Amino acid sequence: MYRSTLLFQRASALLILLGGIGGAASASAGEMSVAALGAGYTAYDAPLGLSTELRIDLRGEVAARCRMAAPPMLAQQLDFNRDGQAQANFGLDCNAPFQLRVRSGEGSFAAESAREGIASHIPYEVSIDVDTDAGRNALGWCRADQLSDQASGGCVFGTGSGWSSGDATAIDRTGTMKLRWSGRGEAEAPALGRYRDTIVVELTVRS
């Protein structure tokens, strides 16, 4: 019994000694860390964390555009022996104010083959309606000869830079093109054969 008590006391003394050594080692390491921060610095002065700021600059650009999203399509065959009319819708996509101009390649329906006693050309007229974000605009009727490159004036959408939308845009809007012509009179040469013309619609961003 006496021997057991003595071994227990020695073991306890050894644990206390190791605990003291361990504590001393920890204290020494802590003191060395604080000392490394410089003179006068203590653990009480340790920063709690500085605020950080992240700034991200974002930039974008939208280019000006004006295009015909869907061209006018005149699917029906035109009959020039009597008064007639045709029309076609077209799509507009203009995110900026724009100019619209219509040109006629021949200034009329021109005969593909010239023949004596047969009409060489058939006059016709064009009208344009344009829907903008500010409302619909009926631009009126113009003769095809007023839409040729040689025309000097007389049509709001046929000469110069064409019709201006002002400050209005036309995003996902529509327009309508109409054609009309008169049948040949008794005193006029008859229409016979094939006649054709090319209409060009120009859309440009207004400068």
Give me the residue spans of the domains in the chain: 66-205
> What is each CA distance from 91 to 98, 142, 164, in whole angstroms?
14, 21, 17
User: When comparing pLDDT for 125 and 53, which is higher?
Assistant: 125
Over range 188-198, report the average pLDDT.
91
**Bridge pairing between strands 135-143 and 125-132:** antiparallel
Over range 103-107, report the average pLDDT.
94
Residues 134 and 199: their CA atoms lie apart, in Å, by 27
Q: What backbone torsions phi and psi does residue 135 show, to the nearest 5 degrees?
A: 130, 175
Contacts of 184 (CB under 8 A, 6+ apart): 80, 81, 119, 122, 190, 191
Residues 35 and 56: their CA atoms lie apart, in Å, by 39
Range in 43-47, 70-74, 113-117, 192-196 the model is least confident about: 43-47
**46 band by pLDDT with thresholds 50, 70 and 90:** low
pTM recorded for the entire structure: 0.69
**118 band by pLDDT with thresholds 50, 70 and 90:** very high
Q: Which helix (H) or strand (E) element contains residue 109?
A: strand 109-111
Over range 134-151, report the average pLDDT.
91
Q: Which helix (H) or strand (E) element contains residue 205?
A: strand 199-205
Cα radius of gyration (the chain): 45
- pLDDT number for residue 109: 95
User: Quick one: what percent of the chain has pLDDT higher than 70?
Assistant: 75
- pLDDT number for residue 73: 85
Q: Which helix (H) or strand (E) element contains residue 9?
A: helix 2-36
Residues 94 and 158: their CA atoms lie apart, in Å, by 20
Average pLDDT, the chain: 80
Q: What backbone torsions phi and psi does residue 90 show, to the nearest 5 degrees?
A: -140, 160
Angle CA 196–150–87, to nearest 5: 40
User: When comparing pLDDT for 17 and 179, which is higher?
Assistant: 179
Question: CA nearest 165: which of 130, 194, 198?
Answer: 130
